[in-house]
Amino acid sequence: MEINSKESEKQFISNPKVIENYSLLHELGVFSFIDNLMRNIHSYKTLLAGGLDIFNHTSTSEIMDATVKQISYHFLPSYIAFLWKPDQNRSDINIRSYRNYRPVNMGLKIKNITPFENYFQEFPKPVNFEAFAKQLDNKEALLPFKAVKPEIIIPILGPFGLYGIILAGRKIQEEKYTEEEQEFLYQLMSFMSHAIKSYLHYERSLRDVKTGLYNHGFFMTRLKEEIAQTKHGSYTSSVIVIDVDKFKNFNDNYGHLAGDQVLEKLAQVIRQSVRNNDVPSRFGGEEFTVMLSHADVAIAKIVAERLRTSVAKMRVPWEEAVLPQVTISLGVFVFDQNSDLEPADILRRADEALYISKNKGRNCSTIWEPGLFDNMPAMALRNY
């Protein structure tokens, strides 16, 4: 049977042999050694409990909130800021900052952490910021940090390089962190770093590398789930299929890199035009899909037109010029508990509506309805 630490300590102190040799044991430092061991055991138990709490969360914001909560149990930094790359193939970063353990906008103007990648590949450990600044010797890259004056900088590293960094400000009550506090902070941040890396790996397995939108496999999985939910929940959802008009012209006239730039810019517009619970994805090539949960015909039509007009206003800079106007054609299919269709059937009908939009002259959207093809000439669906 396990004996708790208090009972164990009581039994040890009351042992006749210990009492008999108390002076010698005290002189040898045995009791101090035991006290240190007990403190270390308590510290490691606290650290493991904190690490487990962090790992139990499943999004970057939840992981960061849990990390800040754990830090608050031990000391009070003036702020903590998390900077990470949501897409490993792009240089732009997301920033989440905390003061008094609440998310705040600190006005951080740091747009790129790529200049720090080589340093942390060589020195993959948390470091005092002053020492880091001297060793990095890149005044331009360090300039944005002057406004926030971090005390410690901690890397988030993974198999594909530097995922992000964590900044910790000076302590509010004392100027410097003790060695024990730094060690605890480093170890706790290690848990947090691994939790974020695991989440980012999971996220990236669901996303298209080029655009950052969800990949087609994830879209089909979510569509299948949505079909089941509409049957039980008695609500309506929609799917939009999008195709870039005459996309081949961009590749032929300006090169494939220009075509990639169009797709990336288009993906950005799509993300900005849909809700957080919608599922925008890249179907393949220049074709995209969006699943709109809880969206009837009226809502789907509004979203489709918002997408179409936003893309038509979009400007794509390329080298020293701007590429010609980009337009899209869209097909929409709305389904509910009575549709009784498989994901492939839903996509096929949205694709048929897209075909009508192409045939009508492009740069328009079409809602699928029964009899849509009755007055159309017999042409192959993919003969755009």
pLDDT digit string, tens, across residues 241-297: 999 999 999 999 999 999 999 999 999 999 999 998 999 999 999 999 999 999 999
Q: Which part of the chain has CATH 3.30.450.40?
A: 57-205
Average pLDDT over residues 361-367: 95
Q: Which CATH class name applies to 57-205?
A: alpha beta
In this structure, what token pair is assigned to residue 172? 């509010």
Q: Please give the pLDDT value at position 42.
A: 64
**How far is Cα 102 from Cα 97, in angstroms, rounded to an integer?**
8
CA distances from 177 to 127, 149, 168 (A): 12, 15, 11
**How far is Cα 75 from Cα 121, in angstroms, rounded to an integer?**
29
pLDDT higher for 4 or 330?
330
Amino acid, single-letter form, for residue 26? H
Q: Are 168 and 82 in contact (CB under 8 A)?
A: no
Give the percent of the chain with pLDDT over 90.
38
**How far is Cα 5 from Cα 7, in angstroms, rounded to an integer?**
6
Q: What is the dotted CATH code of the domain comprising 216-367?
A: 3.30.70.270
pLDDT at 330 over 80: yes
Q: Is the pTM of this model over 0.75?
A: no
3-state helix vs strand vs coil in the chain, percent to 5:
50, 20, 30
Q: Please give the pLDDT value at position 46.
A: 65
Long-range contacts: 205-212, Cβ < 8 Å, 24+?
207/87, 208/281, 208/282, 209/89, 210/89, 210/260, 210/263, 210/264, 210/282, 211/263, 211/264, 211/266, 211/267, 211/282, 212/86, 212/87, 212/90, 212/267, 212/271
Nearest to 287 by CA among 257, 242, 341: 242
Q: Please give the pLDDT value at position 144.
A: 86
Q: Please give the pLDDT value at position 50.
A: 65
Q: Which part of the chain has CATH 3.30.70.270?
A: 216-367
Q: Please give the pLDDT value at position 382.
A: 40
Residues in the chain: 384
